[in-house]
Chains A and B, each alone.
Chain A
Amino acid sequence: MKREEIKVCVMRVGGTNCDAETQRAFQELGVQAETLHLNELIKRRNLLDYQVLVFPGGFSFGDYVRAGVILARWLSAELDKELKTFIEENRPILGICNGFQVLVEYGLLPGFEGVSAYPEATLATNIPQGYNCRWIHLKHENKGKCIFTNKIPTGKVLHIPVAHSEGRFLFPKEKEQQLLDKLYENDMLVLRYCNESGEYAEGSYPTNPNGSFHDIAGICNREGTIFGLMPHPERALYWWQQPDWTRREQVPQYGDGKLIFESLIDHLTKRF
């Protein structure tokens, strides 16, 4: 499949944000991208016309009940069949920030045994409490399974911002270590919070901005085709989005966020 033939659906509902930035990131890299409201997709469009589905950031449905859960259940009620086919055909799904929360609440991530009926993890209230918007560092942990990062060398440190109140990734306390081992065994761990030199945050704030277990910032499913992350790669695409561009002598044309979109597009051009 040629790059310009790829069609990306960025799904919007009341309360989502950064959908326009996400759409623009894909368009900047030469693929077709549309922002569609969920109702539009249910009533007038076909999800299977797209190769990629993206859940952008924000506060879908006002984060009522729990961040991401209303959209997740709405999807399972209205688009379950199409979504199952989408997943079975290994078409990529990306969840950014609130989108990550949606994927976890739906049961798509971590999805150790496929889609789970009930969530296997949670993105809980930040510790320290409050909305945290800052540039952070992330270490790429994946060894090649995740199609969204397979152009990024393992161990590379990325600089991308976060902006959320509920980003503390947790497993059930009694199974914490067992499930973490499973993440490693299946190469599902993708991003961890670290400092500029790549040393893990070990839970320390603000290097780990939310108190996430094992400094987890992003994971993928067993197949590597569904990826959720708390940081916003679409806010780290252009040079002029970098926080220090006025102080640097030479600024690269693109930021680290581009690597994520580029890896995905590269995969699609080879796979389909």
Chain B
Amino acid sequence: MKYRAKIEVSLKPGHSDPEGETVARLLKELGYMVDAVNVSKVYNVLIDAQTLREARSKAEEMAKRLLANPTKDNYTISVEEQK
């Protein structure tokens, strides 16, 4: 079975996000009422697995081993069957 996992990696609260701050500053310059911008990265991964549970567990492992650094990053995962 094929599953599509969406892994979103974002900075932990309290960690400064210079890229987000720069974008927020520019958006204000452009006339938008913006309080804050947080930048995150999304990885869409197509996974071979027997069950949804197995696909989720694999995605979890990918986030821990490669995509997120636990010192500064949080991550969220959503998995659905690929139609």
Knowing A129-B19, A129-B22, the reply to whether A124 touches B64 (Cβ < 8 A) is no
Q: Shortest Cβ distance from B64 into chain A, in angstroms?
A: 6
Residues of B within 8 A of A65 (CB): 66-67
Q: Most chain-A CB neighbours within 10 Å: which of B12, B16, B19?
A: B16
The answer on a CB contact under 8 Å between B22 and A118 is: no
**Is chain A's interface secondary structure helix, strand, loop, or mixed overall?**
loop
A-contacting residues, B43-57, CB 8 Å: none
The answer on a CB contact under 8 Å between A173 and B18 is: no
Size class of the contact patch on chain B = 10 to 19
Please count the residue pairs between chain A and chain B whose beta carbons lie under 8 angstroms apart in the complex. Answer: 42
Q: Shortest Cβ distance from B62 into chain A, in angstroms?
A: 10
Q: Shortest Cβ distance from A132 into chain B, in angstroms?
A: 12
The answer on a CB contact under 8 Å between B19 and A119 is: no
A-contacting residues, B38-83, CB 8 Å: 64-67, 69-72
Q: Shortest Cβ distance from B44 into chain A, in angstroms?
A: 14
CA distance A69 to B62 in the complex (A): 13
Q: Shortest Cβ distance from A206 into chain B, in angstroms?
A: 15
Of the A-B pairs whose beta carbons lie under 8 Å apart in the complex, a sample of 19, sorted by A's number, is A105-B69, A118-B64, A118-B65, A119-B69, A119-B71, A120-B71, A121-B71, A122-B69, A122-B71, A124-B15, A129-B19, A129-B21, A170-B71, A171-B71, A172-B71, A173-B12, A173-B14, A173-B15, A211-B16
